[in-house]
Protein backbone atom coordinates (compact mmCIF):
# COMPACT_ATOMS: atom_id res chain seq x y z
CA UNK A 1 0.00 0.00 0.00
CA UNK A 2 1.35 3.42 -0.99
CA UNK A 3 1.29 6.27 1.55
CA UNK A 4 -0.47 9.44 0.44
CA UNK A 5 0.85 12.96 0.88
CA UNK A 6 3.96 14.97 0.09
CA UNK A 7 7.48 14.27 1.17
CA UNK A 8 9.66 16.81 2.95
CA UNK A 9 11.81 17.15 -0.18
CA UNK A 10 8.79 18.03 -2.32
CA UNK A 11 7.64 20.61 0.21
CA UNK A 12 11.13 22.18 0.35
CA UNK A 13 11.29 22.41 -3.45
CA UNK A 14 7.89 24.13 -3.55
CA UNK A 15 8.96 26.56 -0.80
CA UNK A 16 12.22 27.40 -2.60
CA UNK A 17 10.47 28.01 -5.93
CA UNK A 18 7.85 30.15 -4.18
CA UNK A 19 10.57 32.16 -2.42
CA UNK A 20 12.46 32.80 -5.67
CA UNK A 21 9.28 33.96 -7.44
CA UNK A 22 8.37 36.19 -4.52
CA UNK A 23 11.81 37.83 -4.43
CA UNK A 24 11.71 38.50 -8.19
CA UNK A 25 8.28 40.10 -7.84
CA UNK A 26 9.43 42.20 -4.88
CA UNK A 27 12.44 43.64 -6.72
CA UNK A 28 10.29 44.46 -9.74
CA UNK A 29 7.69 46.20 -7.57
CA UNK A 30 10.21 48.36 -5.67
CA UNK A 31 10.53 51.10 -8.32
CA UNK A 32 6.77 51.10 -8.87
CA UNK A 33 6.22 51.76 -5.17
CA UNK A 34 8.74 54.63 -5.25
CA UNK A 35 6.96 56.17 -8.25
CA UNK A 36 3.61 55.85 -6.48
CA UNK A 37 5.00 57.58 -3.37
CA UNK A 38 6.35 60.50 -5.41
CA UNK A 39 3.11 60.82 -7.37
CA UNK A 40 1.04 60.74 -4.18
CA UNK A 41 3.28 63.36 -2.54
CA UNK A 42 2.93 65.61 -5.61
CA UNK A 43 -0.84 65.24 -5.52
CA UNK A 44 -0.94 66.08 -1.80
CA UNK A 45 1.23 69.18 -2.35
CA UNK A 46 -0.97 70.35 -5.24
CA UNK A 47 -4.06 69.85 -3.08
CA UNK A 48 -2.48 71.82 -0.22
CA UNK A 49 -1.62 74.69 -2.60
CA UNK A 50 -5.25 74.78 -3.75
CA UNK A 51 -6.28 74.71 -0.08
CA UNK A 52 -4.03 77.72 0.57
CA UNK A 53 -5.67 79.55 -2.34
CA UNK A 54 -9.09 78.79 -0.91
CA UNK A 55 -8.01 80.10 2.51
CA UNK A 56 -6.82 83.35 0.93
CA UNK A 57 -10.09 83.84 -0.94
CA UNK A 58 -12.31 82.88 1.99
CA UNK A 59 -10.36 84.89 4.58
CA UNK A 60 -9.80 87.85 2.23
CA UNK A 61 -6.16 88.08 3.26
CA UNK A 62 -2.90 86.70 1.85
CA UNK A 63 -1.71 83.22 2.77
CA UNK A 64 1.94 82.13 2.66
CA UNK A 65 3.31 78.70 1.85
CA UNK A 66 6.75 78.54 3.49
CA UNK A 67 9.10 75.80 2.29
CA UNK A 68 11.68 74.08 4.48
CA UNK A 69 13.81 72.00 2.10
CA UNK A 70 16.06 70.62 4.84
CA UNK A 71 13.05 69.12 6.65
CA UNK A 72 11.40 68.26 3.31
CA UNK A 73 8.20 70.02 4.23
CA UNK A 74 6.16 73.18 4.15
CA UNK A 75 3.82 75.26 6.26
CA UNK A 76 0.64 77.01 5.14
CA UNK A 77 0.02 80.07 7.29
CA UNK A 78 -1.54 83.49 7.23
CA UNK A 79 0.92 86.09 5.98
CA UNK A 80 2.34 88.18 8.80
CA UNK A 81 0.91 85.85 11.41
CA UNK A 82 2.09 82.82 13.33
CA UNK A 83 -1.23 81.04 12.78
CA UNK A 84 -0.37 77.77 11.03
CA UNK A 85 -3.22 76.40 8.92
CA UNK A 86 -1.44 73.29 7.69
CA UNK A 87 1.99 71.74 8.20
CA UNK A 88 3.26 68.77 6.23
CA UNK A 89 6.54 66.87 6.10
CA UNK A 90 7.45 64.43 3.34
CA UNK A 91 10.90 63.11 4.27
CA UNK A 92 12.09 60.13 6.28
CA UNK A 93 9.73 59.02 9.00
CA UNK A 94 6.64 59.84 6.91
CA UNK A 95 4.55 57.81 4.48
CA UNK A 96 6.19 59.58 1.53
CA UNK A 97 9.89 58.89 2.35
CA UNK A 98 11.08 61.51 -0.15
CA UNK A 99 14.82 62.07 -0.46
CA UNK A 100 14.40 65.28 -2.48
CA UNK A 101 12.13 68.25 -1.82
CA UNK A 102 13.13 71.62 -3.25
CA UNK A 103 11.42 74.79 -4.41
CA UNK A 104 12.52 77.64 -6.66
CA UNK A 105 11.55 80.11 -3.92
CA UNK A 106 11.65 79.78 -0.12
CA UNK A 107 8.00 80.87 0.06
CA UNK A 108 5.08 81.78 -2.14
CA UNK A 109 2.25 84.10 -1.16
CA UNK A 110 -1.27 83.63 -2.44
CA UNK A 111 -3.58 86.62 -2.59
CA UNK A 112 -7.38 86.79 -2.21
CA UNK A 113 -7.94 87.56 -5.90
CA UNK A 114 -6.25 84.28 -6.88
CA UNK A 115 -2.75 85.29 -7.94
CA UNK A 116 0.60 84.29 -6.46
CA UNK A 117 3.72 86.39 -5.90
CA UNK A 118 5.68 84.43 -8.52
CA UNK A 119 5.67 81.20 -10.46
CA UNK A 120 7.14 78.62 -8.11
CA UNK A 121 8.19 75.07 -8.94
CA UNK A 122 8.45 72.39 -6.27
CA UNK A 123 10.55 69.33 -7.14
CA UNK A 124 9.83 66.09 -5.30
CA UNK A 125 11.92 62.96 -5.75
CA UNK A 126 12.72 59.51 -4.50
CA UNK A 127 15.47 57.21 -5.79
CA UNK A 128 16.02 59.31 -8.92
CA UNK A 129 12.34 59.56 -9.91
CA UNK A 130 10.98 63.11 -9.83
CA UNK A 131 7.75 65.04 -10.21
CA UNK A 132 7.26 68.78 -10.16
CA UNK A 133 4.36 70.78 -8.82
CA UNK A 134 4.13 74.22 -10.37
CA UNK A 135 2.00 77.13 -9.23
CA UNK A 136 1.97 79.95 -11.76
CA UNK A 137 1.72 83.62 -10.96
CA UNK A 138 -1.86 83.44 -12.25
CA UNK A 139 -2.61 80.83 -9.56
CA UNK A 140 -2.81 77.71 -11.72
CA UNK A 141 -1.55 74.57 -9.95
CA UNK A 142 -0.41 71.56 -11.92
CA UNK A 143 1.67 68.43 -11.47
CA UNK A 144 4.19 67.85 -14.26
CA UNK A 145 6.54 65.01 -15.07
CA UNK A 146 10.25 65.78 -15.04
CA UNK A 147 11.83 64.93 -18.42
Domain boundaries, the chain: 8-145
Classify the C-alpha dihedral 124-120-105-66 as positive or negative: negative
CA nearest neighbour of 135 among 35, 48, 39, 76: 48
> Do residues 6 and 13 make contact, with C-beta atoms less than 8 angstroms apart?
no
Per-residue pLDDT of the chain (147 residues; tens, 9 = 90+): 577 888 899 999 999 999 999 888 877 888 899 999 999 999 999 999 999 999 999 999 999 999 999 999 999 999 988 899 999 999 999 999 999 999 999 999 999 998 999 999 999 999 999 999 999 999 999 999 987
Question: CA neighbours within 13 Å on the CB side: how many for 64?
Answer: 14
State whether residue 22 is helix, strand or coil: helix
Indicate the CATH number of 8-145 among 3.55.50.30, 3.40.640.10, 3.55.40.10, 1.10.10.10. 3.55.40.10
Amino acid sequence: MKARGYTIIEMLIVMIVFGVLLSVAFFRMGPALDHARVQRAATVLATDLRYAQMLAVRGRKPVAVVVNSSLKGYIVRERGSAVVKRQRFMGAGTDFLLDEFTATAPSVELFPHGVATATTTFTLGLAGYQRQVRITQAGQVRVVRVP
